[in-house]
Amino acid sequence: MKIILISIGTHGDMEPFLAIGEILKEKGHQVICAFPDQFRDLVEDSNMEFASLGTKYIEMLDSDAGKATLGGGGSGLKKILAYIKLARNSVEINKELIHKQYELIESENPDRCVYNGKAIYPIIWGLNKRGKNILISPVPYLHYMKNHTHIAFNSNYGSFLNKLTY
């Protein structure tokens, strides 16, 4: 079975997908990892195929605006302005990421596509390929857990209100 793993984000977003890829490869599947180019060595060191999603996403995160929005300190106004700048810059970057995902999936015609929440095209592809795409979130409590609030709330407000926190 040919499986494409798509993960967009930082190093912590890649590690779970590498582990999944290694398990799938051990079971005899062909695995293609589509990550930002900065993670090429991680994939190649794991003896898996690599498909580049470019460098611009990580470069955006490494920019001054990216660092400010990801907890780089500074005033609230500085963070708000950084968010606005990132929002403007991310439009073209996201278009490129989606296009690269589209090209890869359409050219490889995989049996399955496993992706994280920052990858958009597998959602569209999955509309016509029911059961072939799998969303995996390396972030705990990103999905609804009965009788628990989202991790950001760290409390228990009862079943109805807990669900609303997601």
Q: Which residue has the higher pLDDT, 60 or 111?
A: 111
* Cα dihedral 69/121/116/130 (nearest 10): 150
- 46: CATH: 3.40.50.2000
H or E element: which one contains 87?
helix 76-108
**What is the reported pLDDT for 71?**
67
Shared domain for 100 and 154, answered yes or no, is: no
Shared domain for 75 and 157, answered yes or no, is: no
Shared domain for 130 and 161, answered yes or no, is: no
Shared domain for 125 and 161, answered yes or no, is: no
Single out the residue of 69, 1, 75 nearest to residue 31, CA to CA.
1
Shared domain for 83 and 165, answered yes or no, is: no
The parent domain of residue 163 ranges over 141-166
* Cα dihedral 8/11/12/17 (nearest 10): 60
Q: Which residue has the higher pLDDT, 124 or 164?
A: 124
Tell how far CA 119 is from the center of its chain: 5
Lowest mean pLDDT among 1-15, 50-64, 78-92: 78-92
Q: Which residue has the higher pLDDT, 144 or 116?
A: 116
Quick: pLDDT tens for 32-83: 999 999 999 999 999 999 999 999 988 888 888 877 777 666 667 777 888 8
